[in-house]
Structures are given as C-alpha cells and as structure tokens.
Amino acid sequence: MHKDLQKILISEEEIKAAAKRLAEQIQRDCADEDEVVFVGLLKGSVQFMADLLKNIDMKCTIDFMCVSSYGKSLKSTGRVNIIKDLSEPIDDKNVIIVEDIIDSGNTLSFIKKYFTAKNAKSVRICTLLNKPSRREVEIDVDYIGFEVDDEFVVGYGLDYLEYYRNLPYIGVLKPEIYE
Ligand code: IMP
Ligand code: MG
C-alpha cells in the first residue's frame, strides 16, 4: 500500500469485476442502438475507461473531454470550465459519459445539459464511484461501480493535487496529507 494512504478501500480485482459487470449492463441496454460513443472525462476516468472498454464488444467510438470545477481545493466550486472539448460531433449519437466519481453532481449536470444541447440522441452516465451524501444537484446515474462514504479517495485515476492517479486501487488519504 502507498505510504500516504490510510487504507485501501477498493482493490484492483474488485474494480476490474465492476468494470466487467457495468460493461455487460451497458451492452444489454445498447443492444438495439447503433452510434454509441463513450466519452471519458479527463483525467480521472482514464484507468476506468480502459477497463470498461476492454469488456465492451459492440460497434462504438470513443472521445474525451476535460473540464474542471475543483481548482486546487477538495470541494467543487460549482463552476465548470471546459479545458478540452469533444473532438467529434455527437448529433444523433447515444452518448455514455464515463466518469471517475460523482460528488456534488455539478460536473455531470453541466455536461449532460451540454451534450443534450449538442443534439445527442441519448445521454447516459457510467461512474466508477458515487458519493450520494455530497449531492448538491440531483442527477440520474445509470451505471454505478461503487457507492462510497464522504471520504476523500484517490487512485485508479482519482487525484489529490494531480498525484496518485497511477495507483492500481482506490484508497483513502491520510488526513495529514491535506490538513
Ligand atoms: P462534482 O462536480 O462535485 O460531482 O465533482 C466531480 C469531480 O470531482 C470528479 O470528477 C473528481 O475529479 C473530483 N472529486 C470528487 N470527489 C473526489 C474524491 O474523493 N477524490 C478525488 N477526486 C474527487
Ligand atoms: Mg474528475
């Protein structure tokens, strides 16, 4: 275990199993759809996006978007800035947003509206982690890997000050790291 962690919350094996389960669910739901595009939100979704896609066996494309609402703090500012936009149009496409964690819901609520305004045929959300206790805006989440408590977690794409994204598991930081 990394020295800055208090504990490992979700192991690599558990995450891989969740990615497989969610991919199967998505595939069942999309069986009759063509034009499916997976949009990963950078940078947090990189590891999960890769694991999810390896379990997807249907015609699809992928794209990435990068937004920020956090700056350097642990709490969402509620304002979402687009740092990198989609590289292809999504008109009439069935979009599946792939996210690392839903916290206040501000990011996903903004992106869902943004994609709808861009004439997506459907917009669904697939998140590795969900922190429902912190929600500020209501949002429908279609696919959830794990529910987590109100603790700041890192690893498997998730960062604190850009570090720890490379860890192959999800863990809870020691409080002294951010206090
Ligand atoms: P929201 O807009 O508040 O839902 O925030 C979503 C984004 O906040 C996620 O994509 C993460 O980048 C970040 N975030 C929220 N909670 C955590 C956490 O516990 N660890 C690391 N990043 C987090
Ligand atoms: Mg993120």
Residue 73: what pLDDT? 61
In short, whether 105's Cβ falls inside 6 Å of ligand 1 is yes
Residue 56: what pLDDT? 96
Mutate to test the pocket of ligand 1, among 70, 130, 174 (most ligand atoms within 8 A of CB): 70
CA-based Rg of the chain, rounded to a whole angstrom?
A: 16
Annotated active-site residue in 4, 63, 103, 159: 103
Judge contact between 118 and 90, C-beta under 8 A: yes
* Ligand 1 atom nearest residue 100's Cα: 10
Known catalytic membership, residue 85 = no
CA 38 to ligand 2 center in whole angstroms? 16
Residue 96: what pLDDT? 98
Residues 121-145 have pLDDT tens digits of 999 999 999 999 989 999 999 999 9
CA-CA-CA-CA dihedral for 47, 64, 30, 94, to nearest 10: 160
Nearest partner of 90 among 63, 50, 67, 56, judged by Cα: 63
Residues 158-172 have pLDDT tens digits of 999 999 999 999 999
Structure token digits, residue 40: 């990963």
Structure token digits, residue 46: 């990189």
Measure the CA–CA gap between 82 and 65, rounded to whole angstroms.
Answer: 8
In short, whether 127's Cβ falls inside 6 Å of ligand 1 is no
In short, whether 128's Cβ falls inside 6 Å of ligand 1 is no
In short, whether 70's Cβ falls inside 6 Å of ligand 1 is yes
* Ligand 1 atom nearest residue 110's Cα: 2
Structure token digits, residue 77: 């500012």
Give, using CA atoms, the residue closest to atom 13 of ligand 1: 101
Judge contact between 96 and 38, C-beta under 8 A: yes
Residue 161: what pLDDT? 94
- What is the 8-class DSSP label of residue 174? P
Written as one letter, the residue type at 29 is: D
Residue 179: what pLDDT? 86
pLDDT beneath 70, residues of the chain: 70-78
* Ligand 1 atom nearest residue 148's Cα: 19
CA-to-CA separations, 57 to 27, 98, 122, 163, in angstroms, rounded: 8, 17, 20, 32
